[in-house]
Every structure is written in C-alpha cells, then in structure tokens.
A and B are shown apart, each in its own frame.
Chain A
C-alpha cells in the first residue's frame, strides 16, 4: 500500500511539473507572438474628446498658433497645372509652403533641386528645409501636387503630440519588413525627425543617394530606410474610429468602392470626418474640394472646437 501511494504521489509531482513546463512554454509563445504583432503596424490616434476638454479657454488661440507647419511640395514641369491649383488652394493654409521642382519653370516660383530623381529631390528638399527653417517650424508636411490637404485637420491631429519626439506619420504601407509612409497620402515629420534625418543624409552607408537595389526603389521607401537607422518609425494616422486620416485615394474612389462593397453604408463607410489628405485629384477637383471643405456646409450645425483658425487674408476661395 505504501509503495502504491508513494508511486501515486510521484505521479502527481511529475504531472504538475509537466503542466508547469507546458504552460510556461505556451506563455512564452504568446508573449512573443504579441510582441511581434505589436510591431507589425504602428497606429497613431487623433486626440479624443477627453483630451480636448483638458485644454483651457485661454490656451486655445495660443495653442492654435503654436503649430507651425511647413509644406514641401515636390513638383516637375509636367505638373504645372496641378502645381498652380495647389498653390491657389490648400497650400495657402500652410504656415509656409514652398514648391521644390526638378528644374526651373518660368513664371512659377520654386526652389530648384536640379535633379529629376525623386529620392534626390526629397533629400535635398528636407535638407534645405532643415537648414533654413529649423527654428521657425515644428512640423514638416511633404506632398505631391496630386494631393489635397486640410492643414487645420493636420494641426488638430497633432494636438497632443510633442514635436521634439521623432514622429513620422501618414498613410503607411508595408514592403516586406519595411513599414513606410506612402508619399501619395502625404508625409509628416516632426522637427526631431528632420533633425535626425539630416544627420544621416551625409552618411552614404546608412542613407545612400542611390538605392542598393538594382530596381528603382520609390523615394518614400528610401526615406523609411533612412529614418529607421535614426530610430524613427512610421506610424499610421487614424481617427478615434480607426479610420485613416491620410488617404492615397480621392473621395470619389472611396465612394465608388463603398457603393460596391457596402451599399447600405456608403458615406459612413467612406472616409474620416477629420480626413487630412486625399490623393489623385485633378485641378478642377482641387477647387471643388476648397469649396466643399471651406465653404459648403449645413446651417445650424455648430461645433465647439478647441482650436481656432482664422481665414487667410486676401484669399477668395476659402
């Protein structure tokens, strides 16, 4: 009897040890899984109502003025019409907007990058912006002339974000292991990120002018590689509902897709109310967006916003 009970107890012991071992193994797997998933996609959210309520009345105007956004628009001569449209529409709402072109174009004021290569243009533009404006602006927004941006919504999105942190945001995509911000949706860098980028630009091993690949790698991916070396990671910008605020498509495309995919919830399923960018617009659509965003509205719908942005002097379409 004694030997049997001792055997039994030995069995219990072995069983418990086995159980503990298995549980520990399982947990290590889960933890590892969770950690890798967490790094799969970085999400950055817009401020919530709780955040905005914490801001006192006095801070409002001061706060609105504290966001200084410098806009970099990379253009080529073939884009002249879009360039003109951007200049006359949303670019006016940047604290400063400059056009960086591959070559000089008559009548159109621009900073000449003297190159046709998009990555070189981007590098030079960021270097120029940092050298000249590092003390005057705290956020840098880069876009193509096919993009329409609502700078007020960008400032609202940046409300609780400290520009001395390395922010790199927009509409992200993945290329293998690399998470990068698509240039089509616009790229936002804080001054800290630009500072770090600038120090790397002179190191060809980390930030080569010509990509290591034989194939041409797009400039937005090259930027992501560079920034990664500086410890700056891409983050996808979303509203409190999880919808992207930087968009690589136009409103029309979103609507058409929604009409096919969820015809009973077309507008609800479309785009964020606080959208910052849309891409793929024609010149005419830029003007329509200006009217649609800065003019057309429904009477009697009042908003209690925490920031105040006054209309621009000497402008007639906003």
Chain B
C-alpha cells in the first residue's frame, strides 16, 4: 500500500471547488470577476479583527514573514497563506525526493496529492493557531480564557479553509493565476502603497510627521521654512519610510522587470508538424526557477488556435503555481528559523547553544526584536549601509550566505520539482519535439539542455539573491524578496492578460 492512500478516506470530507462543467473555459471577464471577488474576501479578512483577543501589543515574532505570508496581525488573516504554502512545499519535497510515490500523469494520484496538501495545510493551521494562543500572542492564556482560546483557533481554522477554497477556485480555472500568488502580490503592493501614502502621523519630538513618504515630502515642504533641509529630511529621514527607499523600491522593481526578459531560446522542431508550425522555441529564462515557462509558446498563424491544448496548458499552469513561490519558501524557512530562535531566546536566553543560534534585543523605537548575535544575526540583512560598513564580517557572511543558498536551492529545486534537464528532455520527447540541428535522441537532447538549465538555474538563483541583497541594503520597501515576488506575479498576470487579449481579440476595454 502506498503512503498516499492514507489520504483517500479523507477525500470526501474536505470541501472542494468543482471544475467548470465539461472542461469549458470560463470567459475572461468572468474569471476576472471571480478573481476580484477573491481579492475582496482576502482584503476584508485581513482587516477583520479576531474576536476574543485581549491584546496584540508587544513584539511581533512574525514581523519578518508578514509581507511574504500575506498575513496581518490580529486579524482573521493572522496566518495568511503560510500553512498552505508550507504544506505545498513539504508535499512537493516529499514527492520530488521520491519519498511519496505519485504518478502525476494519473488523475486519481493528482487528486490524492491535492488532498494530502490540503490535509497537511489544515493541520498546520490548527497547530500554528494553538501555538499562537498558548504562547500568549493574544494576551496571557489564562487571561484569554478557554472559550475565547477555542474561538480564536476556530476563527483561524475557518480562515485557513477559506484560503484553501479560494486558491482551489482560482486554480480550477474559475479565476486568474493562483490565490496564493494573488494574495502575496496584493499584500506587497499594499505595503508599498501604504508606506508611500500612509495618512498616519507620528510625533517623536520633531513635531508630527507623516508615515507615508510622499505625504511627508509635501508636508515638510509646506511646513518648513528651510526648504533644503525639508527636502533632505524627506529623502533621508531615519526610522520612517523616506523618498530614497521609495526610489530604491521603484528601481528594484524596474530591474526585476528587466531581468525577467532574459532568456535563451532553444530552437525545437516538432516531428508531427512541418513548416513554420513545427518550428518552435523552448525558452529557458534566467529566472528559471522563479517562474518556468513550460507552456510552449507556439508561433501560430492568426486564425488557427489550438483550443484543444488549453486543458493540458491549464494543468501545467497549476503545477507551476507552486514552483513560482521559491523565494517565498526560502524566506519562509528563514523566518521560521527566526521565530524559533526568538522563542528559544525568550525562554532560555542564558543557554550557550541558544545564544549561538541567535541573540535578540528589542528596538528602542517600537519594541521590535532585532537579532544582534549568533547565526541568525549573520544571516539577517544589515540594517543599513552604515551598519554594513561597520561590521564587514556580518555583511560578507550575509552576502555569501544569500548567494550560496539561492544558487544551491535553485539547483536542488529543479531536480526536486521535475524541471531538470532530464525531465524536460523526457517531456519534449513525449511531445515529439527535438532540437533543431541535433540528433533526435533523449541523450542528445539532455546533453544540450544540460548546457543551459543548471547554469540558468544557478545563475538565476544568484541573481535573485543579489537583487534581494541590494534591495535590502537600499532599504527598499517590502524587502527584496517581496518585491521580486510581486514583480514576478504581476508580470505573470500581465502575460496572462496579453494572452487572453490575443485570443479574444478585443481585450478588456477594446
């Protein structure tokens, strides 16, 4: 009996979203509508406060992961997409390392895998919710009381189910992309917009200042008599979002968009179709691991559209939804490490091992815990350029760590997730494609692909790492990983829209 069969009895208990009847493609406008509804539910959920919470003050142990995990403190979306993503990562790793035997070509197996992911996701949700309540994130457990504690866990569980359903709904062809990427992008964009236009004002002795960088600029220019100093303040003020950070964010945004276009195109030919129809390209992107363009971009004449391929295309799209989130998983791992280290330091601060893992101190400003020593300190980004210069060992270690882990992770990831040269060669071979100008064997295909894919993966991973570092040094809003994710996701939506437009003819407003 296979390990996967364990989940079979659970299949009928889990709520699920049906696919569009008869494999029919839902109209683009409809899908956009469902996506908007999805977004509305998510946004409302991330504003609704949890019932039964006594206090949410004090340091936020998950501060690091908030943006990436699309979670907001003290609200129903406390856990965000964390459990779903983590469950997906675990199952993918298990499948990739052959610990879990899944034949992705069989529908029942795919369904079982989905069930397994969902069950695991819900278990993690419950577990995390209980841990949160017990560790006093919502006030001392005795103060909160048993009833409220259970209620909080229940609320978080329901939110988890909701996220799951929304994600499945979008994935099943009712909406655009996946809910996970939609939520991440929304959250990151929201935080960027908030940091730029926040109407909150803070007074730390210099008089009230706006939190939003742009508003603060206007405010300074209007209220100060010395305009040069006002400008300087608006651009470089410390502790609050400033214009420089905003500019850094924009430039990182543009940089990622620029890198997105980097690709090597291998000319492949189909054995089934001759002529121009048979000649296609297989693009290998620089950001190979962050989003893989497996759907072959067929150069088709205007009126001949392969509608029959849409179903298979959708399948691959779904599978890819997981692989896109590599940076998010990476930061999930790191932030989990932070979380554990923080908890341990609070309890057993004196232990030498715990101190080796990480020492923390509270920030004077907002009580935020910052790592000041140990492993965690060395893998956390320097606070500013000045801090980076002051402690070069830390800086160097951090850079090396980021680049190394990104490259290694990328290379491992393509093996695990079935995007290695081997797998791609097999895939192309199954679809009766061969490389133009090369012999039509798997081995030659593999050899040729091996020249590009691992390099692209490793180098792309390092680029992602480097971009993250640069973004963090410049203090870009929403962290380097966040911006990277947001750009990738938005770019994908843009591509999706363009594809739809070319298929529909008119586009959304045309």
Chains A and B are bound partners = no
